[in-house]
Structure 1
Amino acid sequence: MNWVERAAELRQWSRGGVRAPHKPLLLLYALGRFQRDADDELAYSAVEDDLKRLLEEYGPTNRTSPAYPFHHLVGDGVWEVRSDRGSGSPGTGVRELRTTHAAGRLAPELRAALRRERSLLGRMARALLDANFPPSLHAELCEAVGLESAPAEVALRTTAGRRRDGRMRELVLTAYEYRCAFCGYDGRIGPVAAGLEAAHVRWWAFDGPDDVDNGLCLCSLHHKLFDKGVLGVGDGHRVLVSQSFVGHSAAARAQVTDLSGRPLLGPQPGTAPVAASHRGWHTAQVFRGAPRPARTAPSPA
């Protein structure tokens, strides 16, 4: 049984690129707990708050109860649930899971495989991360679920046979003339760009192509905030800033809130800007809450 492929291909509700990473988040969390205590059983009432925080921070914009993946992951053959009613999940509701003292853990066959093969846990974690989240969030997600960083050498085989195009970074940075499209940062160490990255607008894990019109040159800070849904790109290729973001310092205002409504810097003439379909996907699936009103320039004295 190929557990890595099974992790990468967890059955998820899907329609038109809608994100539904509930099961991957629970499985990542369970792998983190297994890494710390291979015999640990996860009582729903004890882990509910942890799962809720993961869904709020890394899940879709529409809220979903952590009871959903706790129940439905059983059908993927990697998870089991027991309760006062015996083997099997007692239902999809929070109340049912709480009152029946439901507890879950990795399936017996998977636990045995993880004990036999020390590298399997990291490879499964990498598969889950690559299939559901952008690279900018991988390290902090591992930390959030208590996992050691997943190995970088795992190459995933996807159902569509897709492979990343290694040229994308250079093409995107060239298109935006090696400066952040949000703030204009253009740092270098000698001839080498420092702290500039090529961000996918529609995530590669959700069929985002390695094309210039699906890319932005962003500094490391704004790339992370873009993938976290704090920043977005709206009509007229202007920066969106989420009303959910809170920052009172001068640095937070200068680096985030004051960007609201600012036009993107680039791409250079003759290069395709971000396609409307990719901007729309990011706004619907990643950007959090409503955008702040565009910042207005101060009135002249």
Structure 2
Amino acid sequence: MDWLERTAKLRQWSRSGTRAPHKPLLLLYALGRFQRDAEGELRYSAVEEDLKQLLAEYGPANRTTPAYPFHHLAGDGVWEVRTDRGPGSPGSGVRELRASGATGRLAPDLRAALRRDPSLLGRMARVLLDLHFPPSLHGELSEAVGLEPEPAATGPLGAARRQRDRRMRELVLTAYEYRCAFCGYDGRIGAMPVGLEAAHVRWWSFGGPDDVENGLCLCSLHHKLFDKGVLGVGDGHRILVSQRFTGHSPAAREQVIALAGRPLVGPQPGVSAIAPSHRAWHVSQVFHGSPRPATAV
């Protein structure tokens, strides 16, 4: 059985690029727990808060109960659910899962495959990360679920997928004249820019192209906050700051909250700005909550 292909083809609700990372997040969490305790089961009532936190941090703005993937992942052949009455899930309701003592764990055939080939776990994690999350979040998400995914390619499955255009970084940084589009940071060591990155507005894993109309030159801090949904780009190419973000230090106020309503820095004249469709995707699928009002100057 090709577990990498099965991992890549988890059945998810999707429409016009809508993010639905609920099953991938549960599977990543289960792989992390398997790595620490290959025989353990995950009782829904005990892991519900962990799963809620993962969905809140790495899922879309519209909240979904973790009961949904806990029940439905079993249909993909990688997960099984049992209750006090025996095999099988009682349903996708929170009350049913709690009351029945529902537990879940990786499917028996998958557990056996992971014991035979321990490297499979890291390769499965890499597929899930590559398909559902931007690279800026891979490290912290892996840490959040207790995983250290393999950095190597995933083999034929990975080779068959769309390849990134390595020229994008230089094109985007040039378009924005090597300045962060949010704060104007332009640090260098000698002639080399440092701490500047090319961010995808519509994530590459969701069909975002490797071109300037889908790119922003951002400093490392603002790239991470952009991919976490703290920051966004609204109409008129003005910066959005989520009302859910809180920070009381001068640094948080100056580097994040004060950005609300500011126009982007760049791109330079003659270069295409972010395409409206990519901005709209990020606002609907990544940005969290409502934007703060513009900060008075």
> What TM-score results when the alignment is normalised by the length of structure 2?
0.97
Q: How does 1:31-110 map to 2 (within 5 A)?
A: 31-110=31-110
Distance 1:288 1:111 in 2: 36
Are 1:152 and 2:140 counterparts?
no
Aligned to 2:272: 272
Aligned to 2:292: 292
Aligned to 1:251: 251
Contact kept? 2:126, 2:154, Cα under 8 Å? no
Partner SS for 1:240: strand
Aligned to 2:162: 162
1:159–1:87 distance in 2 versus 1, CA, 3 Å: farther
Partner SS for 2:25: helix
Are 1:172 and 2:192 counterparts?
no
Deviations 1:210-235 (A, max 9, x none): 11100000000000000000000000
Q: How does 1:14-33 map to 2 (within 5 A)?
A: 14-33=14-33
Unaligned runs of 5+ residues in structure 1 are none
TM-aligned CA deviation for residue 87 of structure 1:
1.0
Aligned to 1:212: 212
Deviations 1:65-92 (A, max 9, x none): 1100000000000000111232111111
Deviations 1:185-242 (A, max 9, x none): 1111112111100000000111111111000000000000000000000000010011
Distance 1:39 1:60 in 2: 32
Distance 2:165 2:7 in 1: 23
Deviations 1:160-190 (A, max 9, x none): 8411111111111111111100001111111
Partner SS for 1:143: helix
Distance 2:102 2:276 in 1: 45
Distance 2:170 2:213 in 1: 13
Distance 2:202 2:9 in 1: 19
TM-aligned CA deviation for residue 159 of structure 1:
11
Aligned to 1:196: 196
Are 1:3 and 2:3 counterparts?
yes
Contact kept? 2:80, 2:104, Cα under 8 Å? yes
Deviations 1:258-284 (A, max 9, x none): 111111011111111000000000000
Distance 2:2 2:167 in 1: 31
> What TM-score results when the alignment is normalised by the length of structure 1?
0.96
Partner SS for 2:283: helix
Distance 1:96 1:155 in 2: 38
Partner SS for 2:80: strand
TM-aligned CA deviation for residue 158 of structure 1:
6.7
Partner SS for 1:65: coil
Partner SS for 1:162: coil
Partner AA of 1:153 in structure 2: A
Distance 1:160 1:264 in 2: 36
Percent of pairs identical after alignment?
76
Distance 1:97 1:27 in 2: 18
Partner SS for 1:284: helix
Distance 1:199 1:51 in 2: 27
Distance 2:33 2:19 in 1: 24
